[in-house]
Amino acid sequence: MDEDKRITLDNLSVRYRGAEDAQLKNVSATASIGQIVGIIGNSHTGKSTLCRVLAGVIPNIISAEITGSCEVLGHSPVHEWPNFNSLTGVVLQNPAGQLSGLADTVADEMAFDLINQGISEDVINKRVANVAAQMGLTDQLVQTPESLSGGQMQRLAIATAIVTQPTILIMDDPTSEMDPLGRQQFFHWLANVQSTTVFIVSSEIDDLSEIADRIWVMDDGQLVEQGTPQAVFNYLDADRQIPKPTAYQLAAGMNWHLSNGALPVTPSELKEAYDGKN
């Protein structure tokens, strides 16, 4: 595969200044353009650090020592930032912290980067309206960002990241403050995203199993498993203490297997396994 059509991490290690231990340890992985990569693992396993490297935040904003390499679609977020920054949309754990703080309304906040890019007012208005509809924020466009709920603030952070139409979207736990309906709507939207390479950290195992092309499992700064959701969860070591998808647990209890011998990890696979038993 051409280098400019994949994401390649090669023995990537990261240690923050002043820290004794590395936060990432010899991480090697690949993913393809247009894929959704779900990143999972317990707390303090390096997931957020990995997102920061992929986004170029480390070492360009947050200082850290890096060895190994990170290449994203033919570019280095480590060495080519801020040019690389123009390709990315980033949603980190604190949504309020990534807003400009200069906008009077939600609409103005969404338009902030587009105005700085010199995009015409007509195009800005169309993009803002379109993204607001996607994120369920149309009724909030005239409100102040500070008046939003936690879940709405997360949706606004996502909206500001995607309104620029990035090639790469990097999201670190973007649904942590959303209610169940908000999370359902978000993952439905994400499943239909096109022409964008997505990295998403999330503990929503069932949702990731349905939408992700690849799952990366982090443990103690190391990438310990990578593959399709079905492959990862069928062979994931129980000692990792990462919950299995609901479909997997139900199928295991009923001894329902797919034709390839694997246990299902999504509702559609669960139905296929059930039909195969009847």
Q: What structural domains and CATH numbers belong to the chain?
A: 3-243 (3.40.50.300), 244-278 (no CATH)
pLDDT of residue 146: 93
| Segment-wise mean pLDDT, segments of 10 residues, the chain, 278 residues | 75 95 96 95 95 94 96 89 85 85 94 93 96 96 95 95 94 94 94 92 97 97 97 92 96 96 97 88
Whole-number Å distance between alpha carbons of 23 and 13: 7
**DSSP category for residue 75:** B
Q: Estimate the share of the chain in helix, then strand, then coil, as percent rounded to the nearest 5.
A: 40, 20, 35
Question: Which pTM value belongs to this model?
Answer: 0.93
Residue 100: what pLDDT? 85
Picking from 127, 126, 156, 162, the residue whose alpha carbon sits closest to that of residue 144 is: 156
**Strand-pair category, 88-91 with 64-72:** unpaired
Longest dimension (CA), the chain: 61
Other C-beta atoms within 10 Å of 130: how many?
A: 12
